[in-house]
Each structure stands twice: as structure tokens, then as C-alpha cells.
Amino acid sequence: MDEVVIGEAVVLEADAVAVGTRIIEGLIDVVALIAFATALGWGLSAIDTGGYDGAALIGMLVLVYVVVPTTVETLTRGRSLGKLAMGTRVVRDDGGAIRFRHALTRALLGVLEIWMTLGVVAVVTSMVNRKGKRLGDIVAGTYVVRVRGARGIPPLPPVDPSLRAWSHGADVARLPDGLAVAVRLFLARAPRMDPQSRVRLGVDLAGRVEAYVAPAAPWGTPPEAFLVAVMSERRDRDWALGVRDQARADADDLAVRRLPLGVSDPAV
């Protein structure tokens, strides 16, 4: 049983994904993409009986092998048809949700290790990697975890209103995964802890987190209130960054669609 940390440092108790599971989910995705490509080919043939030229064929291959997988994993934050069926998800190495660049890297490398080598490279790489990563995961900094039936930690308490202005303007560096997990577990279990242990641990964690935050919280801020503010801000910024990445990807996709057929992007 591995502990998986999502972007806001919520620990999920999830089994590591075995290579066999990855093979099955990969086969489901491959079959789905082949079915999509076949339907697309039939549709284009019905519209244009003159057949495909080289540019149209390359465009269709890029759409099927790169654009569709990238779009699906970006919009679903790490899921695909095969992963939905097997109850798994792609996450970053720090446990956070993947973004457009991670999905694109995985799709591009997938052309080589899945399609061009019939999956041999992907399977071999996953078998020898400790986390079951394929080549695309290694380059993208991602791996696959099991999320079906995973248990999450309760949501964070609300931020003290007096700390909102400070937390929004504070520079919060990326916390080490172990420290983020410890803080998240503490905040979840604090109401049930012995009062003395709660105070002692809260002070200790606040002191460790303070090294990653500038400027310091207002004088006299309770340790727990400080930790809640920092973790909430970390969560919100991670989410906002994901939204911006998705908006940028959508804008790039729209710009490509608006280009006339046969005309290259002048920026390239």
C-alpha cells in the first residue's frame, strides 16, 4: 500500500499499479483510439471520395496518436477510458494532478514506445522501473496510481479571515512532500488529539513550514491557523495554475483550427 499525495497534499491510500493493470488499461485505450481512427476514416471517405493526400493522412495520425490522448488526459486530469475502467489515474511525481505539458509529453513518447514498437518498450520499461513508469512517464515526471476505493483526508478547515490578505500576498515555496503530508495529517487529526500533543506538534510543524513562507505571518498568529492558511493557499494556487494551463492549451488548439488547410503556423 503506497501513500499518494495529491496537489493539496491530501494523502490517498492507494495500491501501486502493477504492470499487468497498465497493460490492460493500455490495450483498452489502444482499441478505443483504433475505433476512433476507423470511424474518422470512414467519415472522411464519405465526405471526400477522392481519397487522402499525404498531408491529410499525417494530420489524421497526429490527431489520433497525440491530440486526442493529450486532450483527454488534460481535461480529465489524468484519466482515460482504460484508466477509468481500471480505476487508475496519472499523477505527477509529487502526487499532484497532471497538466497539459505532462499529457503532451506522455502522448509524444507514446508514439514511439506504444505505437511504433507495439508496446514492447513501454512494457519493458514499466517492468524494470520501481514505480512501473513507462518512458513517457519518466520524461514527463509522472506515474500511474490506483484511485478506486482510495480514502482521502477530510477537507481543510476554513482560513481565518484575518489571514486571508496575508496568505494571498505571501510567497509560498513548494513544501517537501513529507512535510506537506505531515501538516495535512495533523490538521485532519487535530480535533481528536490530546490538547498538549496538539499544541506541541502544531508549533513544531508551523516552525518547519515557516522556512518556506515569506513574509512571516502576522505576530501572534496561532500555529494551526497559520498552517491552514498556507495549505489552503497552496491548494488554490495549484488549482489556478492548472486552470491557466488548460486555458492556454485551449487557445493554442483554437489557433491551430483557424489556420487554413495546408498553411503552416507562421510562428513555427
High-pLDDT (> 70) share of the chain, %: 78
Confidence of residue 14 (pLDDT cuts 50, 70, 90): low
Give the pLDDT score at 145. Answer: 86
Give the pLDDT score at 252. Answer: 62
pLDDT in tens, 160-212: 999 999 988 989 888 886 788 788 888 888 888 888 989 999 999 999 999 99
pLDDT at 267 over 50: no
Confidence of residue 262 (pLDDT cuts 50, 70, 90): very low
Q: What's the CA gap between 187 and 19, in Å, rounded?
A: 35
pLDDT at 149 over 90: no
pLDDT in tens, 104-131: 999 999 999 999 999 999 999 999 988 8
pLDDT at 91 over 90: no
Give the pLDDT score at 253. Answer: 59
Contact between residue 13 and residue 3 where contact means Cβ atoms under 8 Å apart: yes
Q: Where exactly are the structural domains of the chain?
A: 2-151, 161-244
The answer for residues whose C-beta is within 8 angstroms of residue 23's C-beta and 6 or more apart is 119, 123
Cα 42–46–47 angle (5° rounding)? 120
Quick check: helix, strand or coil at residue 53? coil
Average pLDDT over residues 24-52: 82
Query: How confident is the prediction for the chain on average, in pLDDT?
Result: 81
Give the pLDDT score at 6. Answer: 45
pLDDT at 30 over 60: yes
Q: What is the pTM of this model?
A: 0.57
Confidence of residue 157 (pLDDT cuts 50, 70, 90): confident
Q: How far is CA 110 from CA 37, 56, 136, in A?
A: 16, 21, 6
